[in-house]
């Protein structure tokens, strides 16, 4: 109930009764004062009120949805912070692992280099004796050093302790311990003796004692013996004993000779 409208209507009706005595006159007065409503306007007003109530309900539902979405955003932000922390920890762990891998690769490279130097040193020692058996052993050592340097053969991996620990002081070894260490340091001596040539063929024996620098390798892999020439070592870099010729020069001289090389049979029976 709207008391203001009722009071306004009451005043209009009282004024109309003073001048107009009929109901129609009162209705005209109310219409003139815009206090009368048609059924259509009443229905429209009721519909507008119903629409307003529905809009209020929708606004309340949207408000609840907005609150739910804000709460979800807060959860996602918290989850993002925890994820960023986990990613940071993982990146730090990955960096540590990469540093560790780089350290191990460096140690492995140093170990491989030391092994190759030791093999070449032993090969030079065996080659300097001018003994056929030692020459064969020196060739085996050179082949092994070449394979290790190329990665065809890999020595046992070097795995240092982590974290590094200071080694305790060791007492000086006795004469017996030094002899045992010498036996352990040179295990290749026994293996190389088994690899020494056991044939009496003079050509095979000559191959065992002949250095790789006296050969020229053809494109098919056959080794030719260099004939006498004006070069520094007294052998030609272009011509073989059998007459074979190459334009590669020093590049045709092999670094090492395989275990069972294919040697030109004509070169081996022709004098330099």
Strand 223-228 versus strand 215-217 pairing type: antiparallel
pLDDT at residue 59 greater than cutoff 60: yes
Residues 14-50 have pLDDT tens digits of 676 667 656 666 666 766 666 666 667 767 777 888 8
pLDDT for 2: 62
C-alpha span between 189 and 193 (Å, rounded): 6
Residues 6+ apart with CB under 8 A from 136: 192, 195, 196, 197, 208
Give the lowest-confidence range in 30-44, 141-155, 193-207, 233-247.
193-207
The mean pLDDT of 248-263, rounded to a whole number, is: 81
pLDDT digits (tens, 9 = 90+) for 65-80: 999 999 999 889 888 8
* Of 41-45, 187-191, 260-264, the least confident: 187-191
Stated pTM of the model:
0.31
pLDDT of residue 69: 92
Contact (Cβ atoms closer than 8 angstroms) between residue 226 and residue 252: no
Query: Please, is 266 exposed, middle or buried when counting C-beta atoms within 10 Å of its C-beta (0-12, 13-18, 19+)?
Result: middle
Q: Is residue 1 pLDDT above 70, yes or no?
A: no
Q: Comparing 84 with 199, which gets the higher pLDDT? A: 84
Q: What is the DSSP string of 207-226?
A: HHHS-GGGEEE-TTS-EEEE
Higher pLDDT, 38 or 134: 134
Asked if residue 105 has pLDDT above 80, the reply is: yes
Is residue 6 over pLDDT 80? no
Which pLDDT score is estimated for 127?
A: 81
**Average pLDDT rounded to a whole number, residues 226-254:** 84
pLDDT at position 125 is 84
Helix (H, G, I), strand (E, B) or coil at 238: strand
In the predicted structure, residue 254 carries a pLDDT above the cut 50: yes
What's the pLDDT at 176? 55
Judged by DSSP in three states, 45 sits in helix
**Is the predicted pLDDT of residue 252 greater than 80, yes or no?**
yes
Percent of the chain with pLDDT over 70: 66
Q: In this predicted model, what pLDDT tens digit does every residue of 136-186 receive, in sequence order?
A: 888 888 888 888 888 777 766 555 555 555 555 556 666 555 555 554 445
Burial of 161 (0-12, 13-18, 19+ CB in 10 A): exposed
What torsion, rounded to 10 degrees, do the Cα atoms 145, 147, 150, 154 define?
Answer: -90
Distance CA 127, CA 130 (A): 6
Give the pLDDT of residue 119: 86
Q: What is the pLDDT of residue 197?
A: 47
């Amino acid at each position: 109930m709207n008391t203001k409208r009722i009071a306004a209507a009451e005043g209009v009706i009282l004024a109309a009764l003073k001048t107009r005595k009929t109901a129609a006159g009162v209705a005209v007065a109310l219409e003139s004062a815009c206090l009368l409503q048609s059924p259509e306007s009443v229905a429209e007003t009721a519909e507008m009120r119903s629409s307003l109530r529905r809009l209020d309900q929708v606004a309340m539902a949207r408000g609840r949805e907005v609150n739910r979405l804000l709460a979800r955003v807060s959860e996602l932000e918290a989850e993002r912070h925890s994820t960023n922390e986990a990613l940071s920890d993982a990146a730090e762990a990955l960096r540590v692992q990469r540093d560790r891998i780089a350290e191990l690769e460096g140690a492995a490279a140093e170990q491989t280099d030391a092994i190759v130097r030791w093999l070449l040193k032993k090969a030079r020692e065996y080659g300097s004796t001018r003994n056929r058996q030692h020459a064969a052993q020196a060739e085996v050592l050179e082949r092994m050093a070449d394979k290790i340097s190329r990665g065809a053969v890999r020595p046992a991996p070097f795995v240092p302790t982590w974290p590094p620990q200071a080694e305790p002081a060791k007492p000086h070894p006795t004469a017996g311990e030094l002899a045992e260490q010498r036996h352990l340091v040179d295990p290749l001596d026994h293996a190389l003796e088994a690899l020494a040539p056991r044939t009496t063929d003079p050509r095979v024996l000559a191959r065992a004692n002949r250095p790789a620098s006296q050969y020229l390798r053809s494109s098919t892999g056959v080794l030719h013996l260099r004939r006498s020439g004006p070069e520094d070592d007294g052998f030609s870099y272009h011509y073989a004993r059998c007459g074979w010729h190459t334009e590669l020069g020093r590049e045709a001289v092999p670094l090492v000779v395989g275990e069972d090389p294919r040697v030109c049979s004509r070169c081996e029976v022709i004098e330099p």
